[in-house]
């Protein structure tokens, strides 16, 4: 059983976040902390000028509200939103916060994943703790 579990959360339809949270709760020891982490990707400077000024702060607040809803039913759950590149930021967060298990939802790989890779694949390859991938 794990004491500090990280569940990266993506709000796209291809990821089964509910299943990842369920697996995390199953793997959690008594008194464990389960962190639901959403990484907000950086928007390139050339694109940000086309968005309303309040877009980033409004979207961050909406994501925080959505995470708060998800965390309500997770014993020992905490919601976090941070900025960065998804794969690298998840790995950095896990290393800096003594995470002993990452439970990450993944989509079924397609041809593009063989060339570009996916966040789950990067986490599996480079994590220094246990990783459970949920499909």
The three state secondary structure string of 73-90 is CCCCEEEEEEECCHHHHH
Closest CA to 105 of 1, 3, 24: 24
Taking only the tens place, the pLDDT of each residue in 33-59 is: 999 999 999 888 888 888 888 988 999
* Reported confidence tier of residue 76, pLDDT bands at 50, 70, 90: very high
pLDDT number for residue 114: 56
Q: How far is CA 38 from CA 1, 49, 82, 112, 114, in A?
A: 24, 24, 7, 23, 24
pLDDT number for residue 49: 84
**Domains by residue range for the chain, with CATH:** 2-53+86-134 (3.40.50.620)
Taking only the tens place, the pLDDT of each residue in 77-121 is: 999 999 999 999 999 999 999 999 999 998 766 655 554 458 888
Q: How far is CA 48 from CA 41, 53, 57, 110, in A?
A: 12, 9, 13, 29
Taking only the tens place, the pLDDT of each residue in 109-125 is: 665 555 445 888 899 99
Kindly report the length of the chain. 135
- 3-state DSSP percent of the chain in helix, strand and coil, to 5: 40, 25, 30
pLDDT number for residue 106: 84
What is the reported pTM?
A: 0.91
Token pair 């962190």 is found at 35
For 92, phi and psi rounded to 5 degrees? -65, -45
């Amino acid at each position: 059983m794990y004491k500090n579990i990280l569940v990266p959360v993506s709000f796209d339809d291809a990821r089964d976040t509910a299943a990842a949270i369920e697996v995390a709760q199953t793997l959690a020891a008594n008194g464990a902390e389960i962190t639901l982490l959403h990484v907000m990707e950086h928007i390139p400077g050339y694109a940000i000028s086309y968005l309303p000024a309040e877009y980033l702060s409004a979207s961050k607040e909406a994501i925080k509200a959505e995470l708060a809803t998800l965390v309500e039913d997770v014993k020992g759950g905490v919601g976090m939103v941070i900025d960065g590149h998804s794969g690298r930021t998840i790995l950095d967060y896990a290393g800096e916060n003594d995470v002993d298990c990452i439970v990450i939802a993944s989509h079924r790989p397609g041809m593009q994943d063989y060339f570009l890779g996916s966040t789950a694949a990067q986490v599996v390859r480079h994590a220094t703790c246990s990783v459970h991938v949920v499909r």
